[in-house]
Structure 1
C-alpha cells in the first residue's frame, strides 16, 4: 500500500522541484524505481533515469548499488513525475552481486546466484530483507526466472551474509487447492471454489514439500493426486515457477490459526514475538526464514517490530510457528 505524499515544491530551472528524505524500503532495477519512507511514515516511489545522479557514502553509484535500509539524506525530485535529479544516501559497506537464481537451500538458509564468474553463495539470516518486483517477499517467493540483486555485508572472509535480496521477474498467478490430476509434466490443481488450473512443470520449476519436521526439496514424482498444493505460474504459458505441497503422509497439512492485537514482547535474537489480542491470552510465536514480515506495508525483519505495535499473524496451530505474513502497523 502506498500513501499519498505531499511534497514541498520550489521553482528550479523552470520545473517544479521537491526534496525527499527518509529510508529506502524497496527498489527495482527492472522498473528503475526505489521506494522511500519519510519520517512521517509516508512512502514515495521515485523514478531513476539515465539523467539521475546518485551517491552513496559520498561516491557516485548506480541504482543497484543502493541497499535496503539505506538512509536517504536528501533527494531532489521533480514533484510532478517524482523523477530523481540528485540523491545522496548513506549505509553500511556492502558488496553488490547481480545474476540469476541458481538455487535455494530447502531450509532457506542459503542462496546461490549465477554470475559470469560462476555461482556465488550467500548465507540467509532472520535479518535478510527480501523484495520481489518492489514488494515485500520471502526466499520462497523467488523463482528460477528472476533477476537477482544481492547486497552482502562487506568484509566476510568466507560465505557472505546477505543483507538484502531484490528480485525482478514475471508476475505470477496463484492457485491453491487439491491436486486432482498429474499427466506427464502437467499438474492439475482444483481450488475449493472456482475452476481447476493445469500448470506445466519445467526444469526450472521449484518444488517444495512441507512435512511435520520441516521443508524439503521435491520432484514431479512427489506430486500425487489428493495432496494439497499451491502453485505460482506464468499466466500466459501456465509454466509453474514454484509448487508447494504436503507429502503423502499428510505431515504438511497443518491447521493454521490467526491472531491480531498488540505486540507485548519481541526477541529478534531468539526469533520470537508475543501478540496480545483484545480478548484472550497472549500468543507467543516463533518466526523462521520463511516468515514474511512487514511493518507499515514495507519489508521488515523481526528487529523492526516494536513492543506496542499493532500486529497480525497466521501461524501453525500445533507449533506456533508463524508461516504466513506477519505484519505490524506502527
Structure 2
C-alpha cells in the first residue's frame, strides 16, 4: 500500500484561504532601513549637528579667550587657549549690560505670566461653545490674524496711552497671540466633556474646573505655549527700539545690537577696553552667549512636551 503524504498548506487544511493569514503589505516608510540607509541618516544628522554646534562653539570659545589669543588668531578663535572669564565677570559686575540683562529677565517673567493668564482664560472661554458671544469673539480673533492695523496706528495708540518710555510698552503690544489661544482652545476642547459635566454635578464652578481639572490635564500644551511666550519676550528688540528712548531701559537684545552691529562700547567697560585688558570681540561674543543661554537651557526641559502639546492641540479646532 502506498502512503499518501499530505503536502497541502496548513491554511488549506483548515479550510481557510492563504489570503486570510497573509500579512498586509507594509508601507515603504515602515520598513526597517538597511545599513546603508542608517549610515546615510547618521551622516546627515552629524553634518546638521556640526553646522549648528560649530558656530556656537566659536562664539563660546572666543568669549572665553584672552585678548592676546584673539590678537594672535586675528579674530574668532576655534581652538581653546588661555581661557578666562574676564569678559563675563566685567559684564556681570555692573554697567549697561548687567542692567539690560535684568530688564530682559523682568520683562520676560512678567510678560509671560500676563500673556499666559490672558491666553488661558480666553481659550477656556472659547472652548465652552455655549458661552456668551462665543462665535463673535472667535471670529474677531481670527480676523486679527489676517488683518492688522499696521505699525503707525499701533505706535500712535501706545503713545496716546502714555506707554512710551515705560516697560509696559515692551509687554502690552505683543501680549496676546491668537495662534497660541487657538492651540490652547483645541487642547481644552479635547478634554472629556463627561469629566467636566461630572464636576458641575458635584457643584464645581468654572474657576474650580479650570484650576483643578483643565490645567492639570493640560501641562504639556501649557509648557509649550509658555516657552513660546518666554522666547518671544526674551528675543524681542523691535518694541524697545521704537517705544524707548532711555538707554538705561533697553533690554539685552538691543544692547547686543548696539555692540555687534553698531560697534558701540557698553557703558562701564570703555576703560578696560582702552587699556588693553579686554578685547571688544570677546565682549561681543560674551553678550551673545548671555542672550542665547536662557533659551538653550530651558528648551531641553520642555522638549518632551512639544510633540504631545502641539499635535494634540492641533487635532481639533
Structure with greater strand percent: 1
TM-score tier (shorter): under 0.3
Normalised TM-score (structure 1):
0.19
Determine which structure has greater relative contact order: mean sequence separation of CA pairs < 8 Å that are 6+ residues apart, divided by chain length: 2
Instruction: Report the structure, 1 or 2, having the larger helix content.
Output: 2
TM-score relative to the length of structure 2: 0.19
